[in-house]
Structure 1
């Protein structure tokens, strides 16, 4: 990636990233990922405080992901054209403001609107933070910087639910957003003082605004149909209208990308079957993880379920997070030994087993009964996600790594938004149906969770089937950056080899 200005870092093999850019990029990535994973734990407390039902506040999760999907590649392009430090700072400021808006909200509209703004801010911070690290280092120094960034992202995603649970019981749910705002604000003066500005003068100055808009046009109606189709009727005019609009938006996006000077997605990359297979795997894993955390947060805290506090629910998710982290050192060696395709298929097969057991859930289940299937499911998703994430960038040439990581990260947001909306609909519809039939509240709630678990099982089975698309791709040898990439793969795709930063820098 080219840089301009006399303060831009000079090129050099093995150049380490400066402490300022490491601090700003890694700390902000940790905060963004912790905030993202914590919000589902907060939903019951937010619902009680603002007087909004959970199915409405679901949009605080899906809205965040929808905006993130539309913005994550665009924000990287804006950084290339107008300055990566400038856009990164804009993301930090927007994140701070969105946190304040959410914390001060007394109704669902403020929380949901703030979270959608936060989706834009978070994706901008992640995209431009990675670009700043890439342009500020090279060779082994770049890999070390990326390893630290990946580790920070993984830690943030793992501890978010626990931190959210602690804060609900001490400061109220608003405390998470005030603390996150303060930490993000602390990154601003560090960035101003210690991070050099950089641009890509060789990149076309055109920004694919139309493509960004069409991503939203394709996704928002689809999520709306998945969320509201049960109430509207699946064959009703509003549901069909949303689905038609989504298809038109998708078709328009493809047409726009063919004509764009600097498209969000280089459609030629979609001929790469390894990239397509790994991207679909990433989409499914992100969807299953996000839907699972959403469902468990509601079930564990519901009085008809376990009636846990937010802290107890956060602690209850730790076995799943710990299992995924514990297998990280095994993921890359396994993928190298048996091949990424086989590792992805094995991972999804384990996920099928874990989610399949949860189809049998009843109101009599204790928390201990959940632990083993949750750990099996988490281990499986870890084994599927790490090799898929690595393959998505290692199966393309060095100058295409940025585009490939952008595609896979967009898929991660898309998968999360669609799966949470679908799982929430199934959970609510089945629970309401059983409650209407006169079943006790605990039985109806368990039936809803079982129905949603069936959906997750089917998604996992689809992952086993699509692994064939990845072909005979050879994995990279195990190393620190591969381990960090595997750990961070639940929230972001990071490159596992030095790349010359280009207009499509790792996003």
Structure 2
């Protein structure tokens, strides 16, 4: 085999390993909410507590997403990517063998760290293995794989519950991850960033977790403890103290997890909060509907039927997103983001008037509105985040927005779960039927999601001012389709060279 042929084979191997791994990670993540009722039945743990299998995953991902990229830059991207895959395999086996809900939650926390590592280092590996147009095409395929995985996850999970039990998803994912490890070992060349300082901000990583964990615990238990009870206020107090400690640490370390100077950038801050709101509301919605659709007192769907029922939200989001860059190029990113949040708010308001008599058809139009709105807001928000900074800061801006997705998913899912459970219990205590109580819980949580969406609309109007729009190319379309999962380069920015921090975008056109 000639040198050119060998290089081509290696490049294709990198593309296959990274795309397959991101597809599996995102499919696994989006499928778990569908599996929760089955896991609850097998382990005896309530779905209220099992929400930590979702929020714990996101919490750990938020803490690790930037640090794992930094570790790859310093110690070798291939090596850290392989560690991520190994942890993913171990977590899948732990969950599949779990005899208790606690083991499932522990496995999902490990999976959050491994998933963030696979995504961060996988994208960096893909970027350094290609250049020019080939690099953009490869990254676009990676983004498409991520989007397809997230859309297909609930359906795949529903199918597997009926065929193999809920454990089947994790056994299959473990097997695919092992194949990715072998493919990576055979085809991927090790790479590092020799110019990057070897300092790693581990303190910042720990403080992110210490900020989010008590915050989410306080939100989750507030229904039992009371919002102004001593344990709840103590949790919030610890979160505030850890947050201030994080800021203090970031001001002093040589290579901070978060460059606080970026927070002076009005557009970046607004776009990042918009990304956080978008990720939070879609994850909260999927959690709520997965439970509501499968509850025997409401629609009594099987896991497969529930997976099919969520397709308008998951697939609709992926289908509409590639059309958005041209829309934003014509009317403006701020206008498109604002219109998207308006659609999303309208969809949540519609679900907010749900009652126990609703059949699935009543949910269809609100789900489509939410999907359209999410598709319209996610892509331009990600594009604005990276277009609003200098070329040498695109990687850092991308890292901030990726962390925001995990934070939004963790906090919003915990809040939605708490509202749903608390309102449902209160209505049952008042003597209402289970179906009426569940509908009231879903309605209350949906109204909160609607308020968040309206805040996103306000952000778009007031905070996200003029910035360079993407031109609406095919690569922009792929980046938009994956924008609810990861920030990818668009023609709105001139990114720095690939590989900085594992979250920097590859070189692209201006």
- The normalised TM-score by structure 2 is 0.95
Question: Could you say which residue in structure 2 is the equivalent of 1:378?
Answer: 371
Single out whichever of 58-67 and 390-399 deviates more from structure 2: 390-399
| Aligned counterparts, 1:118-133, within 5 A | 118-133=111-126
Pair 1:485 & 2:482 matched: no
Alignment partner, residue 501 of structure 2: 504
Report the more deviating stretch, 336-345 or 205-214.
336-345
**Contact in 2 for aligned 1:224/1:242 (Cα 8 Å):** yes
Match of 1:436 in 2: 429
Query: Which residue is equivalent to 2:157?
Result: 164
Superposition map of 1:209-224 within 5 A = 209-224=202-217
The question of whether the paired residues in 1 share the 8 Å contact of 2:393 and 2:496 is answered with: no
Separation in structure 1 between the aligned mates of residue 317 and residue 103 of structure 2, nearest angstrom: 34
Q: Distance in 2 between matches of 1:85 and 1:68?
A: 19
What's the counterpart of residue 472 of structure 1?
A: 466
Structure 2 partner of 1:180: 173
Deviation, structure 1 residue 502: 4.7
Alignment CA distance shift 1:411-1:160 (3 Å): same
Give how far 1:153 is off: 0.2
- Structure 2 unaligned residues grouped into runs of 5+: 505-510
For residues 22 and 324 of structure 2, the distance between their equivalents in structure 1, rounded to whole angstroms, comes to 23
Which among 290, 313, 320 is matched to residue 306 of structure 2?
A: 313
Deviations 1:16-74 (A, max 9, x none): 98101101110000000000000000000000001110011000000000000000000
Correspondences of 1:238-253 after superposition (within 5 Å) = 238-253=231-246
1-structure distance, mates of 2:37, 2:158: 11
Given that 2:258 and 2:400 are in contact with CA atoms closer than 8 Å, whether structure 1 keeps it comes out as yes
Cα shift at 1:230: 1.4
**TM-score normalized with structure 1 length:** 0.96
1:134, distance to aligned residue in structure 2 (A):
1.3
Give the whole-Å Cα distance in 2 for the aligned partners of 1:328 and 1:37.
Answer: 18
CA–CA distance in 2 between the matches of 1:149 and 1:451? 37
The match for 2:83 is 90
Distance in 2 (CA, whole Å) between partners of 1:249 and 1:16 is: 48
Give the corresponding residue for 2:357: 364
* Corresponding position of 1:141: 134
**Contact 2:317–2:375 (8 Å) recurs in 1:** yes
Distance 1:108 1:424 in 2: 17
Aligned to 1:263, the other structure's residue is in SS state coil
Question: Secondary structure in 1 aligned to 2:463?
Answer: helix
Q: Partner of 2:470: helix, strand, or coil?
A: coil
Matches of 1:176 and 1:163 in 2, distance apart? 8
Check conservation: 1:400, 1:504, Cα contact below 8 A.
no
Q: Does 1:342 align with 2:335?
A: yes
SS of 1:307's partner is coil
Query: Structure 1 residue 155 and structure 2 residue 152: aligned?
Result: no
Kindly provide the CA deviation profile for residues 196-219 of structure 1, in whole angstroms up to 9, marking residues without a partner as x.
101111111011000000001111
Match in the other structure for 2:48? 55
1:439-462 deviation digits (Å, cap 9, x = unpaired) = 111111100000011111111011
State the distance in 1 between where 2:80 and 2:90 align: 15
Which residue of 2 is the match for residue 289 of structure 1? Answer: 282
In structure 1, the gaps of 5 or more residues are 1-6
On the 8 A contact 2:386/2:398 being kept in 1, the answer is: yes
- Do the aligned partners of 1:399 and 1:502 also contact (CA within 8 Å) in 2? no
Distance 1:323 1:27 in 2: 22
Consecutive aligned runs of 4 or more in structure 1 exceeding 3 Å deviation: none
3-state SS, counterpart of residue 432 of structure 1? helix
2:413 is equivalent to residue 420 of structure 1? yes
Provide the rounded CA distance (Å) in 2 between the counterparts of 1:336 and 1:176: 40
Are 2:125 and 2:499, in contact at CA under 8 Å, matched by a contact in 1?
no
The alpha-carbon deviation at position 505 of structure 1 amounts to 4.0
CA RMSD of aligned residues (A): 1.5
Instruction: Note the C-alpha offset of 1:109.
Output: 1.1
Deviation by residue 1:278-300 (Cα, 9 ceiling, x = unmatched):
11000000000000000000000
Partner of 1:4: none
Secondary structure, aligned partner of 1:18: helix
| SS of equivalent to 1:494 | coil
Partners of 1:68 and 1:120 within 8 A in 2: yes
Report the Cα offset of residue 389 of structure 1: 1.1
Cα contact 2:33–2:286 (8 A) shared by 1: yes
Q: Name the CA distance, whole Å, in 2 between partners of 1:413 and 1:233.
A: 26
Question: Secondary structure, in 3 states, of the residue corresponding to 1:470?
Answer: coil
Question: Deviation at 1:139?
Answer: 1.6
Distance 1:386 1:264, change over 3 A: same
1:106-131 Cα deviation digits (max 9, x unpaired): 10111000000000000000000011
Q: Distance in 1 between matches of 2:471 and 2:375?
A: 18
**Equivalent residue for 1:266?**
259
Are 2:85 and 2:118, in contact at CA under 8 Å, matched by a contact in 1?
Answer: yes
Aligned pairs, number = 495
Greater displacement, 268-277 / 98-107: 268-277
